[in-house]
């Protein structure tokens, strides 16, 4: 039997969103993402209201994609948040989101994901989590945010 050797990866990418920083940051919270991410349906454990705050705990997904989340750090004034997440069958992760105003109508969003495999399934996930795949994922966020923001009055 071979010893499990966990893989570890960190990916980061920045996008520009054409909207004020407060508006964009609000859409990058668990409840905010429900407005523009199809299928994103967190189950809020604490607080049950889903109010965004440091220490909130929620879950997403089912089966092999079941994931537990903790909002470890949340600073609305600095437009920054950091999540710890665990998908028990495969990986542990940290998600960091930072928004910075670029003038009155623009926001630079930087999103970083760091994963450590917990199992061979996690190693396979990390192998597929290439720089190109990650960049495409965050660029899709830009597109989806733009579509959502364009629908607002």
Name the residue ranges covered by the structural domains of the chain. Answer: 8-151
DSSP state of 64: G
Those residues with Cβ within 8 angstroms of residue 151's Cβ, 6 or more apart along the chain or in another chain: none
pLDDT band at 33 (very low <50, low <70, confident <90, very high): very high
Split at pLDDT 50, 70, 90, the class of 104 is confident
pLDDT surpasses 90 at 2: no
Overall average pLDDT of the 96-125 stretch: 97
Hunting for tokens 């190109």 — which residue is that?
132
pLDDT of residue 153: 74
Q: Calculate the alpha carbon distances from 144 to 34, 38, 106, 151 in Å.
A: 12, 10, 16, 11
**Stretch 91-108: mean pLDDT, rounded?**
96
Domain 8-151: assigned CATH number = 3.30.530.20
Percent of the chain with pLDDT over 90: 96
Q: Confidence band (pLDDT; 50, 70, 90) for 1?
A: low
């Amino acid at each position: 039997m071979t010893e499990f050797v966990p893989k570890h990866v960190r990916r980061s990418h920045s996008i520009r969103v054409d909207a004020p920083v407060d508006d964009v940051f609000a859409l990058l919270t668990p409840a905010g993402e429900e407005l523009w991410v199809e299928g994103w349906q967190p189950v809020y454990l604490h607080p049950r209201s889903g109010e965004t705050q440091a220490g909130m705990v929620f879950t997403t997904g089912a089966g092999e994609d079941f994931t537990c989340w903790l909002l470890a750090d949340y600073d609305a004034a600095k437009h920054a948040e950091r999540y710890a997440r665990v998908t028990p069958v495969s990986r542990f992760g940290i998600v960091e989101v930072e928004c910075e105003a670029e003038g009155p109508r623009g926001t630079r969003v930087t999103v970083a994901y760091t994963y450590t495999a917990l199992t061979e399934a996690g190693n396979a996930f990390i192998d597929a989590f290439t720089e190109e795949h990650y960049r495409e994922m965050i660029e899709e966020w830009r597109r989806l945010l733009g579509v959502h923001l364009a629908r607002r009055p």
